[in-house]
Amino acid sequence: FFKKVAIANQLAPFITYTYANLTSADGSSLWLLLILQPLYLYFDFSGYTDIAIGFAKTFGIELNPNFNRPFFSENVTNFWKRFHISLSSWFNNYVFKQTSFKHRKWGVYASAYAVFLTFVLFGIWHGAGWNFMIIGFLQALAINYEFFTKKSRLILFSKVPNYLRIWFGRIVTYLFFGTSLVFFFSPDLNSTVIYFS
């Protein structure tokens, strides 16, 4: 209840107002929006998920957690294993695994294709609009990038202290998610163009 009422509900007016007045918003408001909207979505969604989990416990029903400290993820791949776990797991089991198995003769490209299909459908699940397709496409692009550049990135970051690598990964992942949420919260593509311009 605290996450939902004391945090998410207090951030909501700023998020709603700024998106409703993008043309008059200044740069600092838009940067603040980019930083706050992941927190708003997390506290809103995980807040009412925790309420459901707690309410179920009063009836002796144990529900699985739906979030596992997602903003401590060091990359987008790991982020989607920790954010909205129930939906991510469903898409992993019934879209990604099925598609990559069906096209296994393509080798690693089967997985790449399955990731794109999974996340585009993941986006459409949230709403039938170009914005939702683009947010899904962006997640797939990031996950495929991480997959195909893993070896080179390991070599590059092997010379960097571990704590710097960890925090750099967390910050970049958070900012990427925050940037992609512009497509999630904007009412249409024109609004996203206004935001980024």
Which positions are annotated as active-site residues? Answer: 126
- How far is residue 74's CA from residue 118's CA, in Å, rounded to a whole number? 21
- How far is residue 128's CA from residue 44's CA, in Å, rounded to a whole number? 22
Q: Cα dihedral sign for 66, 17, 175, 1?
A: negative
Tokens 């709603």 -> residue:
16
Q: Which residues of 7-46 are buried (b: 16+ CB within 10 A; e: fewer)?
A: bbeebeeebeebbeebeebeeeeeeebbebbbbbbbbbbb
User: Which two tokens mark 34?
Assistant: 């980019």
- How far is residue 38's CA from residue 175's CA, in Å, rounded to a whole number? 9
User: Which two tokens mark 169?
Assistant: 């990964």
| Length of the chain (residues) | 197
| Degrees to nearest 5, angle at CA 10 with 85 and 12 | 65
